[in-house]
Structure 1
C-alpha cells in the first residue's frame, strides 16, 4: 500500500492542508505523526501487513532509525509465533528508553466511530545501546545472526523454536543463509550466562527439517509436554514408488502426525492448479493409503498445537504416551 508523508507532500507540492482535511473527512488514517494511509486500504490489511506498514511509517517519521529484535525479524522475513506488539528501535539514550503507546488514529464520524477501533495498533519500544546495522529493503536493521539470537534470548521455548527452525532452513527464500554455527557464535557474545544457556537449549533443539511455523510449534510443544521425539519428513514407499512424505512419524507406535495449516488448502502456491476441494480429496486418499498400509494417522491444526491441554489430549487419544500428567502452559 502507499503511505503518504506530509513532509514529502509539502516539499513537492507546497500542500500543507489537504491531508488534515482528508483525515477530518474520514478518508485517511494517521499512522504516525505526519504519515497517512487511505482508511479503506488500512482496514483491509491483515495484521502482519499492517504491522509492516507501521514499521515503514515509523521510518518515515524517524529517518535512519535502526530496527531491532522482533521488528528486525519481520524485516528479515523470519517466521514468528505472533505479530510483535511494538516496533522495536535500538540506540536510545538512557532517558528515552521504554515503550510508547500507538499513535495510529482516525477521525470519528457523526456516531463517534473511527472505523479502526477493532484493529490492533502498534507503539514504539526503544532499547538502549548502539547496535550494528545493515540495509534491508531500504531500512536499517540489526544483522541477521544478531537479530535471531537477541529474539531467542527473550522469547519462550516454543516461539524460539519457530524462529530458529526457519532461520536455518532451506525454505527461507530471502536474506543471506545462516547456520547453527554462526548463531552459536553470535550467542557467545550475549552478556548474560543465563541467556547464553537458554539460547543454546533452543539452538540445540532447532532443526532445518520443519517445513512450516506450525510444524515447528508442534514439535516444540511435543518436547515440552514430554512426548517422544518424532522422525521429521519420513518417506513411505509402496511398490517401488513414493506413497507419502509425512510431517511427523513415530515408528515404535506406527503413528503418523500431520499438521494442517490453512495454507495447505487456501494458498495458491500450495494448491498449484488444483482447487481446494481437489486438495482435500487428495489428502484423504493419501491418508487412506497410509492406513491401508498399517499406519495410524492423527491430524491437528494451529489452534490445537497452541493449546497444551488440547494438544496433549489429541496425541494421547492417538495412542502416543507422554511423561507429563498435567501439562502447564508452554507459551
Structure 2
C-alpha cells in the first residue's frame, strides 16, 4: 500500500503545527509544493517507488488533465526505467505544447491507443508506453522495458503483451523513422530475460558486436543433477556470462534498485552454484551495472573480459 500523501491545501496539520514546520523538523518529506509524506514511510521505499510517489503527487496536484507518457507512465505500470531523470513527462495539448514548469515537461506524442487509468492516474497504455520508449529513447534503454512486457507480471496481475500486438501499435507511429526504431527493439526483445540488468546487458553486448548468447541455459552434472541456470551462454566458446545485479536465488526486483541486498546465505548458495557449473568445464565472466557502462577499452571492464574469454565480436556493428 502506498504511503499517505498530505496536502497543505487540505489544511492538514498535527496539533496546529503546519506541515512545512514538521518537514523542517525531519518528520515529513516534501515531494513538491504543498505535498508531503511521512519521513519514516519515505525512507523504507526503494528508489523506483519514490519516483512513482513523486509522479503521483504531481498528478494529484495538477489543474486540468495530466496524462503521463513514456518513462513516467512506465514507472506507474511497474515497467523498468534505465537511467535517472528528474522530469515528469506529460502528454501535451495545443495549449501546453513544449511547455516546462519545474520538473514537469509536456511533450508531443501521438496517441496510439486510448488513454487509460492506473492507480488514479491518466496515462498511456502499457503497449504505447514501451513503443514510445523504443521510438524515442536509445536502444539499450528501450530493450529492458520491451522485454518486461513480453513476460507475465504476476505482482501486478498483467498478462504478457504479444509481439503481434506491439507491431500493430508501432504501425501507428507518426513517421517511418520512429517506426523503424520501435520495430528494431520489438525484433530484439526476448521474454526469457529475467531482469532489467540482463536485458540492458544483452542490448549493450549487441551494440558492441558480440555474438548473440543463448539465454537461461540449464546445466547438469555428469549424473544428470540440475546445477543451475545461467543468464548468458556462448556454446561454441563454452563461456557463461552472468549479470550480478540480482543473483539467481531470491531474485525479486523487476526494476533497478528495487531489491534488497542478498543475505550471506544467498551469496554462499550462489557461489556453490557457480563452482558446480564451472566444474563442467565452462568459463565464467561476471559483471555489474558499473561494468556495463564502463569504457570498452578498460582492460578490467566487461568488453575486454569477454574478448579475453574468446567470445567472438564483429567490430563493424
TM-score (norm 2): 0.83
Q: Which has the larger radius of gyration?
A: 1
Cα deviation for residue 221 of structure 1 reads 1.1
Tell me, yes or no, if the aligned pair for 1:166 and 1:172 is still in contact at 8 Å.
Answer: no
Cα distance in 2, alignment partners of residues 269 and 52 from structure 1? 15
Aligned to 1:218: 201
Q: 2:18 matched to 1:18?
A: yes
Tell me, yes or no, if the aligned pair for 2:250 and 2:266 is still in contact at 8 Å.
Answer: no
Q: When you count helix as a share of all residues, which structure comes out higher?
A: 1
Aligned to 1:56: 56
Aligned to 2:315: 324
CA RMSD in angstroms, aligned pairs only: 2.9
The farther-off stretch of 70-79 and 127-136 is 127-136
After superposition, the C-alpha distances for 1:6-41 in whole angstroms (9 at most, x for unaligned) are 23337xx9x998234445666544422332234565
Matching of residues 1-331 of structure 1 within 5 Å: 1-9=3-11, 18-23=18-23, 27-39=27-39, 42=42, 45-62=45-62, 64-95=65-96, 97-101=98-102, 123-128=103-108, 131=111, 132-170=114-152, 173-174=155-156, 175-238=158-221, 239-262=223-246, 276-309=263-296, 310-324=301-315
Cα distance in 2, alignment partners of residues 16 and 133 from structure 1? 41
Aligned length: 298
2:85 is paired with a residue whose SS is coil
Tell me, yes or no, if the aligned pair for 1:214 and 1:305 is still in contact at 8 Å.
Answer: no
Cα distance in 1, alignment partners of residues 104 and 211 from structure 2? 41
Cα deviation for residue 130 of structure 1 reads 7.7
Q: Residues 82 and 95 from structure 1, CA distance in 2 versus in 1: closer, same or farther, beyond 3 angstroms?
A: closer
Aligned to 2:257: none
After superposition, the C-alpha distances for 1:273-326 in whole angstroms (9 at most, x for unaligned) are xx722222222222222222211112111111222512211211222231229x
Cα distance in 2, alignment partners of residues 177 and 321 from structure 1? 33
The farther-off stretch of 278-287 and 194-203 is 278-287
Cα distance in 2, alignment partners of residues 27 and 280 from structure 1? 36
Q: Residues 156 and 65 from structure 1, CA distance in 2 versus in 1: closer, same or farther, beyond 3 angstroms?
A: same
Q: Which stretches in structure 2 are left out of the alignment for 5+ residues?
A: 255-261
Tell me, yes or no, if the aligned pair for 2:151 and 2:159 is still in contact at 8 Å.
Answer: no
Q: Residues 68 and 172 from structure 1, CA distance in 2 versus in 1: closer, same or farther, beyond 3 angstroms?
A: farther
1:92 is paired with a residue whose SS is coil
Q: Residues 228 and 25 from structure 1, CA distance in 2 versus in 1: closer, same or farther, beyond 3 angstroms?
A: closer
Cα distance in 1, alignment partners of residues 206 and 289 from structure 2? 17
1:182 is paired with a residue whose SS is helix
